[in-house]
């Protein structure tokens, strides 16, 4: 059984790296973001709570996140293990999580703030069909237009330099105690998140002493 935590700032590729890590190792990817989207989509009690919180423009509380993760892990469909991203959120949760689940390793994807800014501020969204674009890695064929439906692309309302700076501050402040706790238990592996996704995955597997990554198909 392999149990890993994926940590990293927005834009560091947490989701992508978690998926790649799960692929051939039969691990279950537990993404807190996806978990909430699932609850909202399926109109669960938790989904209603999340919807209300977001509607009020507030952040989802640590306790709600913890409840959702606990509920997800209680399904015990992770026979070979899991990779979790978006959790734990604070030192107390990290302590509890370490003790309850005997975590094998924590991957900390390192990305300098200026690179986060470059990546996040280059994101564009199609308001017509919901397709995501990125002016660095995933440009539309015609500048400013959606490849699929031709709608003019927009920037997400919360992808402004000011909003991003606030999110970065918040991230560093909240993550520091979690990382410190994991570091004391000597389970953290720092990985440079700047190279291409496949290269980053190779480094992650080396760090965790896992079989090498072989791209699919
Ligand atoms: Zn579109």
User: How far is residue 211's CA from residue 24's CA, in Å, rounded to a whole number?
Assistant: 10
Q: What's the gap in Å between 140 CA and the centre of ligand 1? A: 10
Residue with the two structure tokens 């200026």: 114
Residues 6+ apart with CB under 8 A from 100: none
Which residues of the chain carry a pLDDT beneath 70?
A: 216-217
| pLDDT in the model for residue 110 | 96
Q: Which pLDDT value is given to residue 50?
A: 86
CB atoms within 10 A of CB 152: 11
Residue 122 C-alpha to ligand 1 middle, in angstroms? 17
What is the distance between the alpha carbons of residues 174 and 13, in angstroms, rounded to a whole number? 19
pLDDT of residue 215: 76
The alpha carbon of 151 and the centre of ligand 1 are apart by a number of angstroms equal to 5
User: Residue 133 Cα, ligand 1 centroid: separation in angstroms?
Assistant: 10
What distance in angstroms lies between residue 132's CA and the mean position of ligand 1's atoms? 9
What is the pLDDT at residue 55? 80
Rounded-to-integer distance, Cα 59 and Cα 65, Å: 10
What pLDDT score was predicted for residue 53?
Answer: 84
So what's the pLDDT on residue 159?
87
What integer pLDDT is reported at residue 217 of this predicted model?
55
**Cα 42 to averaged position of ligand 1 atoms, centre (Å):** 25
As a whole number of angstroms, the distance between CA 54 and CA 71 comes to 21
Prediction pTM value: 0.85
The DSSP element (H or E) to which 83 belongs, if any, is: strand 81-85
Residue 117 alpha carbon to ligand 1 centre in Å? 24
CA 19 – CA 9 distance, rounded (Å): 17
Cα of 72 vs centre of ligand 1, distance in Å, is 33
């Amino acid at each position: 059984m392999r149990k890993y935590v994926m940590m990293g700032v927005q834009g560091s590729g947490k989701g992508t790296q978690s998926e790649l890590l799960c692929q051939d190792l039969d691990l279950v990817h537990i993404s807190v973001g996806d978990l909430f989207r699932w609850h909202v989509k399926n109109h669960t009690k938790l989904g209603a709570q999340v919807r209300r919180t977001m509607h009020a423009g507030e952040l989802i509380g640590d306790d709600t996140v913890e409840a959702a993760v606990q509920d997800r892990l209680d399904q015990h469909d992770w026979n070979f293990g899991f990779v979790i991203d978006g959790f734990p959120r604070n030192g107390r949760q990290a302590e509890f999580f370490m003790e309850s689940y005997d975590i094998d390793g924590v991957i900390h994807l390192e990305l300098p703030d200026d690179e986060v800014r470059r990546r996040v501020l280059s994101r564009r969204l199609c308001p017509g069909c919901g397709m995501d674009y990125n002016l660095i890695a995933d440009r539309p064929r015609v500048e400013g237009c959606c490849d699929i439906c031709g709608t003019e692309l927009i920037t997400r309302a919360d992808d402004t330099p000011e909003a991003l700076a606030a999110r970065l501050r918040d991230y560093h402040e909240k993550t520091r105690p979690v990382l410190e706790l994991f570091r004391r238990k000597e389970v953290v592996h720092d990985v440079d998140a700047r190279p291409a996704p496949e290269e980053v995955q190779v480094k992650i597997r080396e760090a965790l002493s896992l079989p090498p990554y072989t791209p699919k198909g």
